[in-house]
Amino acid sequence: MPTAEEVANPRVRFVNRAKPDPTRQYVLYWMQMYRRLERNHALDYAIARAVEFGKPLVVYEGLRLDYPWASVRHHRFILEGMRANARRAKALGINYWPFVQTPTEPGTGLLRRLARLACLVVTDDYPTFIVPRQTQALALRAPVAVVAVDSNGVVPLSWLGPPVAAAAHLRPRIHRAFARAWPKRAAAEPDFPAVTRQAVEPPFAVWDATQPLDRFLDSLPLDRSVPAVPGVEGGAEAAARLLQRFLREKLHRYATERNTPDSPADGPASGLSPYLHYGHISIEAVVEATLNTVNGWSLAQVGGSGRDFYSDSADVNAFLDEAITWRDVGYHWHWHRAADVEALERALPAWAWATLQKHASDRREAVYSLEQFEAGQTHDEIWNLAQRELVATGRIHNYMRMLWGKKILEWSATPTEAYRIMVELNNKYALDGRDPNSWTGILWTLGLFDRPWAPERPVFGTVRYMSSDNTSRKFKKLVKYRQYVQGLPEIAAVRRG
C-alpha cells in the first residue's frame, strides 16, 4: 500500500518501514544517478524535509571503484561532473560531500555511518544497474527512513500504468499526463534556506575536487584499455553548453537528418545521452529549452495528434518524441521488472523469443566471438566502422547502432550469446551505457517493442532485419561516415580477463 505521502507525491517511494527521526543531525541526499544541483526532484524533496525538520542538508555524492564496467572513460566523465558539482555547491554555500574510493581509502561502511547521523536519507529512484540493489541494501540497515525519489522523466513513472508492448502504447499515456506533470517540474534554481546551509563537518576526508584529474586517475586501479574520450567533458556546465549548441545549430534539421549516419560534430543529434544518463542534465531542462525555441510556446499548445503533440514544429516534435516517448519506454520497462534484465527468455515478448528459438540452429554466414567483435574483426567493413566509432568515442550514431546490434544477432552462435555480447560491448565502451535504454535499445534489436516482420528469414525469423548493403545504398555509400570514422584515433580494443 502506498503511504499518504506517496499518494500526495507520485515521485516519492518509501523504501523501508523506518520513520524519519528529526532529532538527528542532518537530512542526507545520497546522489546516486541524478548528479546535479538543479532540476532534481530528489534534491527538492530533501530540501523540503530539511526545512521541515529545521536541519541542515548534506549532499553526498560517491564513486566506487568496483561498479560493473568501471574504466577510466566512465570514471573521468563522472569525476568531471563531481568537479562541476563541487564548484556549484561552493557558490551556493551548501554541504556537498564528494567521496571517491581509492585503494587506500575504501570508505567501507561510510554510507551506513552517514545514514546513522541522518534524520532521513533521500536518494534517486533509478530503475536499473546497481542502483536498486544499493538502495535496498542501505534501506535494510538504515535506522531511519530511506526515501527514493523519481527524477527519471517529465511524467512520473508511477503515472504511466502497466507495462506496454510498444512505444506507441506508452505515447498516448505520456501525452495524457503531460499537462498535469509539466507545472510540477523540479526547481530550475533550488532555494536553499539558511537552515539547510548550516555548516556540518564531514566525518571523513572529502574528495579534493580541485586536484588534477589525470594524475588522480593514474593512481586508481581502473581498466585503462577504455580511455577517456578526448574533447568530451562530463558535468552540468558542459551539458548545458552542449544543449545550447544543439538548439542553436542542429535542432532545425533534426526531423529530416537525424537518421543519416554522420559525425557528432556534423550530424543533428544532440549527443546528450551520456549527460542524461549520469544526470548531469535533467530531461525537464532539455524539454523546456527545446519548447522555448518555439515562438511564444505555452502549455495551451500541446495536444496535437500522435507525434505532432508538442508544438507546430516538426523538428521539436521529432526530438521530443525521442527524448520523452522513446527514452521513457525504456525507463518504464525497467520500472516494472525490478532490474531483472538477465534472462533473454523473460525479457523478450513471447513471439520474438519463439521465432528466435525456431531459428537458433540455422546456419550463420559467420560466427564471431566476443573478442572478434570487440576488435572489429568481422568480414563487414561497415559493421567494423560502427564498432571502431564505439571504441574510440564512446558513442555510435543511432542508425548505425541499430545495424550494429542486428548484425551481432546475425553472427553470434545463439540469440542469448548475441544479447550477452551486445550488453558487454555497449556498456563497456558507450558513455551512455548501463542506462535503462542500454538494455531496451539492445533488446529492440531482438524484437522488444517491435512486431513481427515478413518475410521469415534465417536466424532472425520474423524479427526485423537490417542489412549493411541497404544502409550503404540508402546513405550514399556512407562516404561521410566512413571518412569520419577512419579519421578517429586507433584504439586497440582488448579484452581483460
Ligand X SMILES: Cc1cc2nc3c(=O)[nH]c(=O)nc-3n(C[C@H](O)[C@H](O)[C@H](O)COP(=O)(O)OP(=O)(O)OC[C@H]3O[C@@H](n4cnc5c(N)ncnc54)[C@H](O)[C@@H]3O)c2cc1C
430 binds ligand X (CB under 6 A): yes
Residue 101 or residue 437: which is nearer to ligand X going by CB? 437
C-alpha closest to that of 233 among 83, 77, 33: 77
409 binds ligand X (CB under 6 A): no
Question: Binding segment for ligand X among 32-40, 69-77, 265-273, 300-308 (CB under 6 A)?
Answer: 265-273
Q: Please pick, from the candidates 71, 152, 196, 426, the single residue that binds ligand X as defined by CB under 6 A.
A: 426
Q: Rounded to an integer, what distance in angstroms lies between the CA atom of residue 115 and that of residue 124?
A: 15
Q: Which of 36, 171, 277, 407 binds ligand X (CB under 6 A)?
A: 277
Rule CB under 6 A: is residue 330 a binding residue for ligand X?
Answer: yes
- Candidate segments 223-231, 267-275, 300-308, 465-473, binder of ligand X by CB under 6 A: 267-275
Residues with Cβ < 8 Å from 256, sequence gap 6 or more? Answer: none
Question: How many angstroms separate the CA atoms of 56 and 135, rounded?
Answer: 22
Q: Give dist(CA 368, CA 374) in Å, integer.
A: 10
196/290 with CB nearer ligand X: 290
273 binds ligand X (CB under 6 A): yes
Find the shortest distance in angstroms from Cβ 275 to ligand X: 8
Quick check: 327 binds ligand X (CB under 6 A)?
A: yes
Nearer to ligand X, 153 or 156 (CB): 153
Q: Report, in Å, the least distance between residue 469 CB and ligand X.
A: 19
Kindly state the cell numbers that stand for 371: 573478442
The alpha carbon dihedral of 243, 249, 255, 257 has a sign of negative
CB of 420 to ligand X, least distance (A): 13
Smaller CB separation from ligand X, 270 or 468: 270
Determine if 271 is a binding residue for ligand X (CB under 6 A).
Answer: yes
Is the previous residue joined to 455 through a cis bond, with omega within 30 degrees of 0?
A: yes
Q: Does 433 bind ligand X (CB under 6 A)?
A: yes
Measured from the CB of residue 363, what is the shortest distance to ligand X in angstroms? 24
Nearest to 66 by CA among 101, 105, 33: 101
Rounded-to-integer distance, Cα 443 and Cα 450, Å:
10
Closest residue to ligand X, based on beta-carbon distance: 441
Report the alpha-carbon distance of residue 39 to residue 36 in Å, rounded: 8
Using CB under 6 A, which of 16, 225, 317, 445 touches ligand X?
445
CB of 167: closest distance to ligand X in angstroms?
8
Give the type of residue at 369: S
CB-wise, 49 or 401, nearer to ligand X?
A: 401
Q: How far is CA 439 from the centre of its chain?
A: 11
Find out whether 36 and 282 touch, Cβ atoms under 8 Å: yes
- Rounded least distance, CB 69 to ligand X, Å: 11
Would you give the binding string for ligand X spanning residues 369-398, x where CB under 6 A is met?
Answer: -----------------------------x
| By CB under 6 A, residue 281 contacts ligand X | no
Q: Which is nearer to ligand X, 262 or 435 (CB)?
A: 435
Closest contact distance (angstroms) between CB of 404 and ligand X is 6
- Judge whether 170 and 306 are in contact, CB under 8 Å: no
Neighbours of 219 (CB within 10 A): 10
**Spatial separation of the C-alpha atoms in residues 9 and 12, rounded to whole Å:** 6
Q: Which three cell numbers stand for residue 332?
A: 518504464
Question: 243 to 262, contacts with ligand X by CB under 6 A?
Answer: 258
Burial letters 390-425, b for 16+ CB under 10 A, else e: bbbbbbbbebbbbbbbbbbbbbbebbbbbbbbbbbb
Stretches 59-67, 177-185, 266-274, 486-494: which one binds ligand X (CB under 6 A)? Answer: 266-274
Decide: 117 and 25 in contact? Cβ < 8 Å. yes
Rounded Cα distance between 189 and 352, Å, is 46
Asked if 266 and 111 count as a contact pair (C-beta separation under 8 A), the reply is: no
Q: Does 74 bind ligand X (CB under 6 A)?
A: no
Judged by CB under 6 A, the stretch of 326-334, 343-351, 356-364, 477-485 that binds ligand X is 326-334
- 40 vs 437 by CB, closer to ligand X: 437
Q: How many CA atoms lie within 13 A of 100 on its CB side?
A: 20
DSSP assigned state of 157: G
Output the smallest distance, CB 226 to ligand X, in A.
Answer: 14
What's the number of CA atoms in the CB half-sphere (13 Å) around residue 362?
19
Does residue 441 bind ligand X (CB under 6 A)? Answer: yes
Which CB sits closer to ligand X, 10 or 405? 405
Binding status of residue 401 toward ligand X by CB under 6 A: yes
Size of the site for ligand X (CB under 6 A): 28
Q: Which stretch binds ligand X (CB under 6 A): 353-361, 375-383, 441-449, 450-458?
A: 441-449
Sign of the alpha-carbon torsion through 460, 464, 470, 475? negative
Question: Is residue 170 a contact point for ligand X (CB under 6 A)?
Answer: no
C-alpha to C-alpha distance for 444 and 336, rounded to whole angstroms? 17
> Which residues sit at the interface with ligand X, rule CB under 6 A?
258, 269-273, 276-277, 322-323, 326-327, 330, 398, 401-402, 405, 426, 430, 432-433, 435, 437-438, 441-442, 444-445
